[in-house]
Each structure stands twice: as structure tokens, then as C-alpha cells.
Amino acid sequence: MMTKRSCTIIAEAGVNHNGSLSMAKELVEAAAKAGADAVKFQTFKAEQIVSRTAEKAPYQKASTSGGKSQYDMLKGLELSEHMHIELASYCEKLGITFLSTAFDLTSLDFLLTRIGLPFIKIPSGEITNAPFLYEIGRRHLPVMLSTGMSTVGEIEQALGALALGYLGEEENLQSDRLAISAYTEGRHLLENYVTLLHCTTDYPAPLGDVNLNAMCTMKSTFGLPVGYSDHTEGIAISVAAAAMGASVVEKHFTLDRNLPGPDHQASLEPAELSEMVQAIRQVHEAMGSPLKSPSPHELVNRNAVRKSLVAAKSIRKGERFTSDNLSVKRPGSGISPNYYWDWLGKIADRNYEPDDVI
């Protein structure tokens, strides 16, 4: 979506800047140094996305001080418009794509009009927010849709809402049109715009809950590109997702897992991020072509390691080849052993010494 590489790697800084511009810039530096394609933040107005009485998620309670509400926690993690602009400029300077996830329409419009994002990342929590998805579709930009906590039916409805926006529908916007009818009408647009990201919304996500095969299910069910937004510990599952065909891998990272905040403990540190990027690049280089044929390097070795028909003992001209005087040995520069039985009983047209290739 951003590069010619077969897997786009997004280093998810999220809110791991703790509201600090200088820390956010350090995260940009770490992502660029690791070789990620993009570094992604989160853009929101706390008063527009959460009520003042909403409780924190269990993982947020476990990783932050217990006194604050979810609203208070998020308010302290907002980045100002000026900070966004400065971060986008800093990303451009370091040669890494700036991204941010919008959680409300005000933030979405800011990111598109002032920052000029190349595509829109929709977080898992908004997958049932049909009005928001519809408005995103109306922007006619590529979308990455995270599918954490969702069923196939909910993904279908989310695609329907996006399709209605892509189609420019303005009348008869009803919930029943979010089902397969709207999805079918806008299928050609969805195929051009949407990538689905498999995700397990827990921090960290237990391995037994990952169900990575569901990524392939989404690809076959909806006929759309798929990727993986990883909340597990370590890098193994991200690398596995890349090997299974993920076109995008997104992974949280932090400068230090011991920092205070809701997402630090479930994030990679810079050295681990670098290791993950390198491993994914290696996996995709190794994936290569689906055709099974010898590589140029294999051809160089083929004669040395394959075998041919050779004389097991001295054979005189006019003598018949038998199982007693015909053997199979390296090198592979002669007649293939696949033809062993065809040569039994044939007449030798010259003299052979032991180990001579036939």
C-alpha cells in the first residue's frame, strides 16, 4: 500500500509517547532506524470518543494508576495539532511514512486535510460504528480495517457501511443495507480500497486467542487483501503472519516497557522492533515464487549431488548391462538413475572401467 515490498510494516507508536512531543520524536527515530515502512500514532479528542463515566478496560486498569477514568487517561495522551504537524515533518525528514489512526470525525478531517495521510487506518473499536465508517468511505481513500473483537457478520456490516460511502449513497441509509446487499453493490470499490487486518484485542494477546488462521479465512471469505495487527508478546506471530501472506503487519513498540501508560507493557522495545523488521523482510524474500523449479544456485550444485548410472566393475564392449555391473553413484552428469531399468540388458558400445559414468 505504501511500498513495492510485499509486506508493509507499521511500527505502532500509538500513545506510547505519553503526551510528550520529544518522546514521540524518539519513537519516530526508533521506527526509522528499525527499517519500518511507517510509524503510526493515534489522533483523538477525548471528549468526542469517551464519556466521562466510562471505565477503563481491564488491561488499562492493570497498567495505569487506578484513580483516573478512561476519559482522564486519554485526555493526558492527546497530541495537539501542532505536535502532529511537527511529527509528520520529522517523519518526512527521516524518510519514514507518518500515519495516525483517527477515532473521531474531527480528527479524521484534520489528518486528511492538514497532514495528507496516504490511507486511513480504522481501529477495531470502530468496526460497528457505521456512521463513522460511512464517512470514511466518502473520502475515497484506501483503508486498513482492524477486525479485533468482531465476527464475520460484523465485518460484513462494516464493509457494507464503507461501501455505501464509496458509492456516494445519501438516501435510504438504513441498518439493513449494511448487510450483504451493500457489500455486493460496492464490491469492486472495496477490492480497490480495503485491506482487512486480523487482530486480537487484548494487551498482550494470549497465544491461544490469536487464531492466526482466521486471517486466511477473511481473505477467502471477502476476497480482500489481509494483514495482521499484532498484540502478542515477542515477534514470532508477526513473522508467522508474514509467512502466511499478510500484506501488512502492524506492531506496537515503545522506548521502554517499564514506562507508565496503558500500552507500554505489551509493546516491543527498539531492538526487538529491528529484529522483527529484519525477520519479516527475510521471510518475504524467502517466500519467492509459487512455482517449484530449481533456482540458478541449485543448478550449479545439481551435478555434484545427484547421481548417474556408472559401471560397478569393468565392462567390455559388446557386454550386456546387468544389475551386477551397473551401479548408481555421483556425479549427476550422466544418465539419470530414473532410467536404470531401461539400461538393463542393453549392449555396451565401448569399454568401461569401474566408476566410469555410462
Listed in order, the ranges of the chain carrying CATH 3.90.1210.10 are 296-343
Query: What percent of the chain lies above the pLDDT cut of 70?
Result: 95
Domain at 296-343: CATH architecture: Alpha-Beta Complex (3.90)
CA gap 77, 187 in Å, rounded: 37
Burial 282-303 (b: 16+ CB within 10 A, else e): ebbeeeeeeeeeeeeeeeeeee
Edge-to-edge order in the sheet of strand 194-199: 97-102, 38-43, 8-14, 248-252, 226-230, 194-199, 143-146, 120-122
What's the whole-number average pLDDT of the chain?
93
Enter the C-alpha cell of residue 137: 468511505
Of 113, 110, 133, 130, residue with least CA distance to 122? 133
Q: Quote the pLDDT of residue 4.
A: 44
pLDDT digits (tens, 9 = 90+) for 115-141: 999 999 999 999 999 999 999 999 999
- Note down pLDDT in tens along the chain; length 358 residues: 544 457 999 999 999 999 999 999 999 999 999 999 999 999 999 888 899 988 888 878 777 766 678 998 888 889 999 999 999 999 999 999 999 999 999 999 999 999 999 999 999 999 999 999 999 999 999 999 999 999 999 999 999 999 999 988 776 677 766 665 566 778 889 999 999 999 999 999 999 999 999 999 999 999 999 999 999 999 999 999 999 999 999 999 999 999 988 889 899 999 999 999 999 999 999 998 899 999 999 999 999 999 999 999 999 999 999 999 999 999 999 999 999 999 999 999 999 999 999 9
Listed in order, the ranges of the chain carrying CATH 3.20.20.70 are 8-287
The model's pTM is 0.87
> Residue 235 burial (CB < 10 Å; 0-12/13-18/19+)?
buried
Of 263, 196, 214, residue with least CA distance to 11? 263
Q: Is the peptide bond before 331 cis (omega within 30 degrees of 0)?
A: yes
Tell me the CATH number for domain 8-287.
3.20.20.70
3-state SS, residue 198: strand
